[in-house]
Amino acid sequence: MLSKNIEIALNKQIRIEAESSQIYLSMACWSEVSGLEGIAKFMYAQSDEERMHMLKLIKYVNERGGHAQITDLKAPKTTYETFKGMFEELYKHEIFVSNSINELVHITFEEKDYATHNFLQWYVAEQIEEEATAKTILDKINLIGDDKGGLYLFDRDIQQIAVAASAASPK
């Protein structure tokens, strides 16, 4: 049985995961209409992954005697100056999500809810991976600079990251 405090904190995280899915979806749309098909595919895959993170939390809350709450979401940005700027925002957002997960883990320690603490370890590991992926992508973008040929290759190559990530992620 979840304490009210942990239920509230988990519901906050459900919203964050839902908003993350929406952010990636918006980035996918912008990328697609900007002719960045590979980036768009990557972002669509990331959006789906964030939605699965949300659903996993929802099931956990409901199965532990809580009530998962689905709330309104903050609308994400719909346009970006550059694809580099978009990925910089994505990286900052992943750090925000990591901090939120870490705060949630802290609450489980305070409340001695070791079952929820154990459940959240998957999210801790996932966020390490998400941050590393975003950082690697930013590093590649910085290597490209303003080279249009480099952008073409990057756009093509990032599709492989999306395919590899979706193949490796547990359902």
pLDDT above 80: residue 166: no
* Annotated binding residue 46: no
Question: What tens digit of pLDDT does each residue of 60-93 get?
Answer: 999 999 999 999 999 999 999 999 999 999 999 9
Question: What tens digit of pLDDT does each residue of 14-62 get?
Answer: 999 999 999 999 999 999 999 999 999 999 999 999 999 999 999 999 9
Q: Is 74 helix (H, G, I), strand (E, B) or coil?
A: coil
Q: What is the pLDDT of residue 150?
A: 86
> Using CA atoms, how far apart are residues 73 and 71, in angstroms rounded to an integer?
6
Range of the domain at 159: 4-168
Residue 170 pLDDT level (bands cut at 50, 70, 90): low
Strand runs labelled E in 29-147 = none
CATH number, domain with residue 47: 1.20.1260.10
Domain count of the fold of the chain: 1
This prediction has a pTM of 0.92
* Annotated binding residue 127: yes
* Annotated binding residue 17: yes
> Using CA atoms, how far apart are residues 45 and 2, in angstroms rounded to an integer?
32
Q: Are 84 and 141 in contact (CB under 8 A)?
A: yes
* Annotated binding residue 160: no
* Annotated binding residue 103: no
